[in-house]
Amino acid sequence: MDLMNIRPWIFFYLICFVALLLATTFIVQGITPLFWMASTLIIVVVGFNFILIFNEVKEHKKRKAIMKQLSSTVGNGKPKDKKTD
């Protein structure tokens, strides 16, 4: 199984985690204006994460298909640029 490059996403998810903690704090405090802002923040963060992960998986599948196509055209046991007699 191939693993995607996850390292660039670490800081993004740390920032999202802090935003969710802040939103949870606002909700627990029970202040009405902050409750709606916190709910909106949670929806935005979760939606944005879903979109980014979906696109990353789609790009990974596309790269994998391209690599498979390239390896099947050249990798039939014989090098493509050598002529056999």
Inside any domain, residue 79 = no
Inside any domain, residue 58 = yes
Residue 40, amino acid: T
Which residues form the domain of 22? 13-72
Inside any domain, residue 34 = yes
Inside any domain, residue 40 = yes
Question: Please, which pLDDT band fits residue 1 given cuts at 50, 70 and 90?
Answer: very low
pTM score: 0.58
Q: How many structural domains does the chain have?
A: 1
Inside any domain, residue 53 = yes
Q: What does the pLDDT average to over 45-56? A: 84
Q: What does DSSP assign to residue 77?
A: S
List Cα–Cα distances, 49 to 4, 43, 59, in angstroms: 16, 10, 15
Inside any domain, residue 24 = yes
Asked if residues 27 and 39 have their Cβ atoms less than 8 Å apart, the reply is: yes
- With 50 as the cut, is the pLDDT of residue 69 above it? yes
